[in-house]
């Protein structure tokens, strides 16, 4: 089945956190993972830390209420999504849709990636991000 839908590897695990600095202190400061990409826009701050062939994306929402919503309770963090790299979104999306998987919208391009996210209710209550690399990132 993996070959039928063009799945290559887990690219990253997205974790929403209340305190990006504290989360980075654990992963970067104590565990020694290296930050290779950072995002700081109107809505969020994020850091991608390399861990072998995959990465961990730490996401802190700038609006504390939006952060509480995305975390979903009193916890300080939660795994939000699993990103899977694919060879071609143009080929993979129809194959996934044929399996009954629905998406939150059209693919979007961010830097070196074009991505689309599943609706959690169509993928076993887990949100997956399918991403196609346009270059190294």
User: pTM of the predicted model, to two decimals?
Assistant: 0.87
Q: At residue 62, does pLDDT exceed 80?
A: yes
pLDDT, one tens digit per residue, over 75-106 is 999 999 999 999 999 999 999 999 999 999 99
Class of domain 2-133: alpha beta
- Any idea where the domains of the chain sit in the sequence? 2-133
CA-angle at 72, arms to 114 and 34, nearest 5°:
50
Distance CA 25, CA 22 (A): 5
CB distance 113 to 40 below 8 Å: no
Mean pLDDT computed over every residue of the chain = 91
Q: Which residues of 95-134 are buried (b: 16+ CB within 10 A; e: fewer)?
A: ebeeeebebeeebeeeeebbbbbbeeebbeeebbbbbbee
Predicted confidence band of residue 63 (pLDDT cuts 50, 70, 90): very high
């Amino acid at each position: 089945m993996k070959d039928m839908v063009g799945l290559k590897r887990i690219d990253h695990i997205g974790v929403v956190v209340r305190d990006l600095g504290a989360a980075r202190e654990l992963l970067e400061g104590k565990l020694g993972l290296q930050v290779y990409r950072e995002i700081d826009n109107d809505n969020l701050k994020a850091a991608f830390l390399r861990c072998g062939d995959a990465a961990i994306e730490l996401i802190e929402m700038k609006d504390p209420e939006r952060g509480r919503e995305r975390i979903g309770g009193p916890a300080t963090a939660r795994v939000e999504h699993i990103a899977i790299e694919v060879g071609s979104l143009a080929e993979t999306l129809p194959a996934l849709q044929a399996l009954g998987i629905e998406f939150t919208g059209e693919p979007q391009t961010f830097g070196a990636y074009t991505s689309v996210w599943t609706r959690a209710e169509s993928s076993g209550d887990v949100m997956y991000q399918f991403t196609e690399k346009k270059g190294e990132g």
